[in-house]
Amino acid sequence: MDIKEYIKNKIKNTLNIECEINIEIPKDNKNGDYSSNIALKLAKELKNSPINIANDIKNKIQIDNTIEKIEIANPGFLNFFVNKNYLFDNLNKVLEEQENYGKAKNKINKKINIEYVSANPTGILHLGHARGASYGDSLSRILKFAGYDVTREYYINDAGNQINNLGISIKERYKELCNLSFELPENGYHGKEIIEIATEIYDKYNTNKLDESLEFFKEFGLNKLLDNIKKDLRDFRVEFDVWSSEKNLYKSGNVEKTLKELIEKNYTYKSDDAIFLKTTMFGDEKDRVLIKNDGSYTYLVPDIAYHNNKYQRGFDSIIDILGGDHHGYVARLKASMEMLGNDSSKIDIKLLQMVRLIQDGKEVKMSKRTGNAITIRELMDEVGVDATRYFYIAKSLDSQMDFDMDLAVKKSNENPVYYIQYAHARICSILENAKEKNINYANKYETISSESAYNILKKIYEFEDTLKLSAEKKLPHLIANYVYDLAALFHTYYAKEKILTDDIKYSSERLSLIKAVQIIINNSLKLIGVSSPTKM
């Protein structure tokens, strides 16, 4: 049972008016386990003092097995104290359900498409992609755990000018290796990976591919770079259910069909030999070009067809995770969906903000190896997958962040991911020790009474509420911050109380408590793609 909802309903049943009831968790335990300011909110409307209103609500609420007591605090807060036996019952539930604790028992009939990363296959994934990958993958895990039907998708921009320029760049580098004159295109790609691909072609074919059409170099480079992207993502513990191809959108006729529909519905017009989309009709700041005056399509055309295809696949919610520079993209995309008869409110675009890498107190802008942007592979090699993913997820996606590389590699309690993992490993060590001593878990609790133990019990209970809120609000950082707080409570408890003693009853009860902590830490870290080591 969700205690917050339970308390909300208890308060609601005492009122004769409709109003929003907020339930918070107080920072100070003296103010209860849960608190509401509803009496303060209603004072003006009910023309009464908050204290009188709070007392009236309190007197109408019947104390039961869930709520132990209710106290009133100035200037009119209602503070609720949860029955400890209720928390012990939940402790047993954790021990029984283990890795399934918090997992939805019934599927939610809602299909969600989450598109993330979707980097052009013309180079290597960098630190910005790593942030989008961390968020998208963690959100997918959380929503699945919460019972939603989730499809994880990567959109491959494998058509258009950027792929032509990729092919030309590789071919020109290949010509260079053949000791021929070469000229890189103005909008070409100059990365180290382009030279490596050209070298691979040369090592395999020598000069035999000089007369090959551009298509050969495009396909070879595209496949190579896409394979590298997939490997980097797999190693970063990021998977996809669907890899959608822009090229296939054209082949299927979806692009032309979508464009034709927009023209037939009179949502386009011609100006200076270019075709514009009337996006200002739906709130965009200006109309957008669909077809340039040279007859080529802008990137918006296949993007509209691609998102229309998502609607046709029956998704109830469409989440796009894009770079912060796509801010202006939101209005035009939603406008185009409305033109095609789709409900644009189903689209939720998340914009990830800038990441600064900090090392030795200074911003690191360039890779030491390549002289270009820091890659996801370098982050994995230098910092590790666990620390990289945790550091990214611990911050809200819409906030700019400084990634402290020195802190991320520290093997100390200053490093939050180390701090959490050490709590898990320490518990595993105690559990192994208890096993050797044949100490079993308890299911009745008579000796646990300390405030530090009670704080853990309450925090364990909060896991389901935190998971639900994280899924509903699409905020994975709530899980990352929650598990850090749980680890901190365990470390505090461990410093104050001995777990295993000669008293079997005493030991078995505490063994159950820390086993539940270990289960919740493991479940939480899984949801954000971080490992739970048993030894450190």
pLDDT averaged per 10 residues in sequence order, the chain, 536 residues: 82 88 88 93 92 93 87 94 91 97 94 97 92 98 98 96 94 95 89 94 92 94 97 98 97 97 97 96 94 94 97 98 88 96 97 92 73 85 97 94 95 97 98 96 95 94 94 97 98 96 96 98 98 96
Using only C-alpha atoms, the chain has a radius of gyration, in whole angstroms, of 28
Q: How much is the pLDDT for 1?
A: 59
Copy the structure tokens of residue 290.
């669909």
Q: How much is the pLDDT for 367?
A: 60
Alpha-carbon span 491 to 7, nearest angstrom? 30
* Domain covering 88-103+413-527 in this structure, CATH number: 1.10.730.10
Q: How much is the pLDDT for 245?
A: 97
Alpha-carbon span 123 to 370, nearest angstrom? 12
Secondary structure element (H or E) that encloses residue 393, with its range: helix 385-393
How, if at all, do strands 242-245 and 149-156 pair?
parallel
Maximum C-alpha span of the chain: 91
Contact (Cβ atoms closer than 8 angstroms) between residue 390 and residue 417: yes
Q: Where are the domains of the chain?
A: 3-81, 88-103+413-527
Give how far the C-alpha of residue 215 lies from the chain's centroid of Cα atoms, to the nearest Å: 37
Alpha-carbon span 510 to 524, nearest angstrom? 21
Contact (Cβ atoms closer than 8 angstroms) between residue 270 and residue 293: no
Give me the residue label for tokens 């899984």: 526
Q: Cα angle at 135 between 331 and 3, to 5 degrees?
A: 100
- 255 burial level (CB within 10 Å; 0-12, 13-18, 19+): buried
C-alpha closest to that of 403 among 421, 418, 390: 390
2: left (phi over 0), alpha (psi -120 to 50) or beta: beta
Strand 355-359: give its sheet, edge to edge: 362-364, 355-359, 401-404
Contact (Cβ atoms closer than 8 angstroms) between residue 22 and residue 36: yes
From residue 133, alpha-carbon distances to 72, 114, 522, 523 in Å are 46, 11, 21, 20
The CATH class for the domain spanning 3-81 reads alpha beta
Other Cβ atoms less than 10 A from the Cβ of 536: the count is: 13
Which residue type is seen at 510?
A: R
Alpha-carbon span 101 to 517, nearest angstrom? 12
Q: Is the pTM of this model over 0.85?
A: yes
Where does 190-294 have alpha helices with state H? 192-205, 214-235, 246-251, 254-264
Query: What's the length of the chain?
Result: 536
Q: How much is the pLDDT for 328?
A: 84
> In a 3-state reduction of DSSP, which class is residue 80?
strand
Alpha-carbon span 89 to 464, nearest angstrom? 15
Q: How much is the pLDDT for 314?
A: 97
Q: How much is the pLDDT for 368?
A: 56
Q: How much is the pLDDT for 326?
A: 83
Give me the residue label for tokens 């109309």: 287
